[in-house]
Amino acid sequence: MSHLPKKTTRRTKFWMIQRRSNRSSLVKVSKKSEKKRIKKQQKKEKAKNQVKQPVQDDLSQEERARLKEEHRKRKEQWLEDLKTSPRIVIDLDFQELMRPNEVSSLVQQVMYSYGCIRRAEKPLRLVLTSVKDEVKTKLEKIKGFDSWLRFESDIDKVVEQEDGFHYPHDKIVYLSADGDETLEDLKKDEIYIIGGIVDRNRYKFLTLEKAKRLGFRCAKLPLELVKFHGSRVLTVNNVIELLVRFNTSADWKQVIQESVPVRKIDSSLCVCRKQDNSNAAECDAK
């Protein structure tokens, strides 16, 4: 067996080192891009949550008092509506199946979900279950998390202790793309569960199997009302936004068209939304 010349061996080693260096650079760029994306999403969500208020210096004392009273009444009404609103549970009992970056993504989705409900005209009552380990550590970094309704117990224990009332299993609906029934309405005396998992569709029938194991009903959202491109898998905050909008409008087709990311929906369809203080309309893909 002939040996390669030293010159060739050195060149081979050089290119091997170069490849390793390139791979390392790609990984660094990928991580940097992911951080930028998350930061951009956080800024967007923060801007969304900021409600524009009139400049206080330009208002008279009477106007300030009136605005303060209006705000107080809106808050009181919102809290009153919350008492009788449908309950939405995010089941966070799947973190052992997720990679670290997927856990981080899930926490972001939960944060967006909470913000969406806080901004809702008609609120839904959001409850988090199985809040523990890494998910809990990351959630605790969110400002105001201490005031969120949450439990360390799994979902089956929570539905038994919620308000000291035992919910019949036919009043508990686990939302899943594999559900054997289609969700038609949101009822005040029912609990709706969303599986809190980011798995890039690795695990099939995960939420369906859990619902069956616990004896809960399992239903899918009526996504067939709109033509999709590819997968109909939605993020946790996408589902929350759908439910929040439906709780106000009760029109599934319109809600899906307005809530689902544009890239997932047939662009040949379009729903026009009137812009505030303008007769113009903004068209988004349905």
Tens digit of each residue's pLDDT (9 = 90 or more) over 141-174 = 988 888 787 787 777 776 665 554 567 888 899 9
CB atoms within 10 A of CB 271: 17
DSSP string, 56-73: GGGS-HHHHHHHHHHHHH
Say which of 81, 154, 199, 284 is annotated catalytic: 199
* Dist CA 68 CA 58 (whole Å): 15
* CATH architecture, domain 69-227+236-260: 3-Layer(aba) Sandwich (3.40)
Q: Where are the domains of the chain?
A: 69-227+236-260
Tell me whether strands 217-220 and 125-129 are parallel, antiparallel or unpaired: unpaired
Whether 199 is catalytic: yes
Render pLDDT for 6-40 as a digit per residue (tens, 0 to 9). 455 666 666 666 666 666 555 555 566 666 777 77
Question: 């594999």: which residue's tokens?
Answer: 178
Picking from 201, 198, 6, 232, the residue whose alpha carbon sits closest to that of residue 106 is 198
The separation between the first and the last C-alpha atoms of the chain, rounded to the nearest angstrom, is 67
pTM: 0.68
Q: Is 25 helix (H, G, I), strand (E, B) or coil?
A: helix
DSSP code string of 215-256: T-EEEE--GGGS-BSS-----HHHHHHHHHHHHHH--HHHHH
Which segments of the chain have a pLDDT < 50?
Answer: 4, 6, 51-52, 54, 164, 270-286
